[in-house]
Amino acid sequence: MVLAKDENLVRAIPERVRSGVVAYRENFRHPVLGVWNDGVGRIHRDNNITLSGMPTMRLDTGGQTNGGPANPGRTANTGGVIVKRRLLSNYNEIWGMAIWFRLTSLNLTSNAMISMSIYNRDGAHAHHARVWLNPNGNNQPMLGQILDGAATAAANGGTPTLPSGPAVYTTVVTSDNQNGGGSHTYDLPTSRGDRAGGWHFAKLVTDFSALKYVSLQLDSKEVDLSTYSMDVTDSTGFAGMHHSIEFSASTSTRRYINVANWVGTLEAAA
Amino acid sequence: MAIKMQHWLTTLPNNDEQGGTVSNPKTLTGAQTFNSREYGEYAGMAKGLLLLNITAATGSGQTLTVTLQGWDEAAGIWRDAATIAAQSAVAVVAPVIVDPLWYDIYRAQIVVAGTTPSFTFTLSMIGFCEEPVPSDY
């Protein structure tokens, strides 16, 4: 059955996106993924785990390790999956990025890091907004922790824009729900076959004109982040905006998460 | 109409493919078993065409054998899905059809054997599926 175009569009947009115009969506319906893994491990279109009648995208470390960092860092950890969509925006717009995600396999409540980012470069610097979606232990409430630009710069003293310097993450929201990583998993070699799982939702909004965060929604909680600055690091890399999801682990145990209905929203021209 | 895509199969598991410097064409020198990274690119594809093009081959009694392996998720093991018979010289090797592509995840296992063997080659696979993709799939 082929649905009418408008009907297909409506069902593809997650109802928890509360603001903005949908600029792009990755619902993984197409057999070839339009996003790219710019790290190691792998991604694939997953028909074992679906949401709203659509395939999802699985992110798998493939046993690769991230070196055991304390947090997701100032720049993306290349020892894991970095799946991204690149767009061009001239530091004059407010952008959002929303995903549904579930902790699919075992071993995700420790030694694993999940984050999502919106960042841009101007030829000399990179400006990162990143939220660490921290499971925070076995069946604990998930934490939303942002890469805190001002605190990170302060922690780096005389070299505030050094990319390899330590990052400071600040907890800005705590979900009321358990993270779901300790139960309802899908991990066939260990007799876990729960395809339904427990789906989280996250939406990050950033203002590239002010170089500030705007807001973060984690599950049903939304918080104002307008007092927080993006992190600034030296970078001569590709001057373009990136929307990305990062997933890595500090041990070689294979583990994986699933992402559904990835949506980019244009909130406003700043 | 059809949907097709092609990717090389010679990236190492710890290689970042950005930058175009790591894998295509590939040179393997010395007897070895090379296991590529895991390719999820074919999860949405129904059939495959495995392509091997050897542009240099040296050594004594050298052979290069390619096996396409699929990931058996329930057992957590790799299973052989298709093989290109052992090659010993420069050749545009006849394509091997892999129909269907049952697995979501594939890797290439490339075995180089002989005395001081060296091969330079491109190994890739074209994936194929029918269009249109149902909207409710």
Q: Which of B5, B18, B132 sits opposite A32 (nearest CB)?
A: B5
Predicted confidence (pLDDT) per residue in A23-32, tens digit = 999 999 899 9
- Tell me how close the Cα of A240 comes to any Cα of chain B, in angstroms: 15
CA dist A250 → A72, A190, A212 (Å):
11, 21, 30
Residues of B in contact with A191 (CB under 8 A): none
Q: What is the dihedral of CA B43, B47, B48, B49, to 10 degrees?
A: -170
Report field, pTM of the whole predicted structure over 0.90:
yes
What is the C-alpha to C-alpha distance for residues A3 and A5, in angstroms, rounded to an integer?
A: 6
Cβ within 8 Å, pair A43-B5: no
- Residues A57 and A144: their CA atoms lie apart, in Å, by 22
Residue at token pair 């406003």? A268
Segment A77-100 mean pLDDT: 96
| Minimum distance, in Å, between the CA of residue B64 and any CA atom of chain A | 26
Q: What is the DSSP string of A211-260?
A: TEEEEEEETTEEEE-TTPBPEEEE--S--SEEEEEEEEESSSS--EEEEE
Beta bridge partners, B130, equal: B2
* Residues of A with Cβ-Cβ distance to B137 under 8 angstroms: 29, 53, 55
- Put simply, whether B41 touches A (Cβ < 8 Å) is yes
pLDDT per residue as tens digits for the range B74-90? 999 999 999 999 999 99
Q: CA torsion B61→B66→B67→B69, rounded to 10°?
A: 140
Q: Is 60 exceeded by the pLDDT of residue A235? A: yes
Residue B69 has pLDDT above 80, yes or no: yes
Across residues A239-247, what is the average pLDDT? Answer: 97
Q: Is the pLDDT of residue B17 over 90?
A: no
Closest chain A residue by Cα to residue B6: A32
**Which residues have a Cβ under 8 Å from the Cβ of A221 and sit 6 or more positions away?**
A173, A174, A175, A176
DSSP state of A190: G
Predicted confidence (pLDDT) at residue A5 exceeds the cutoff of 50: no
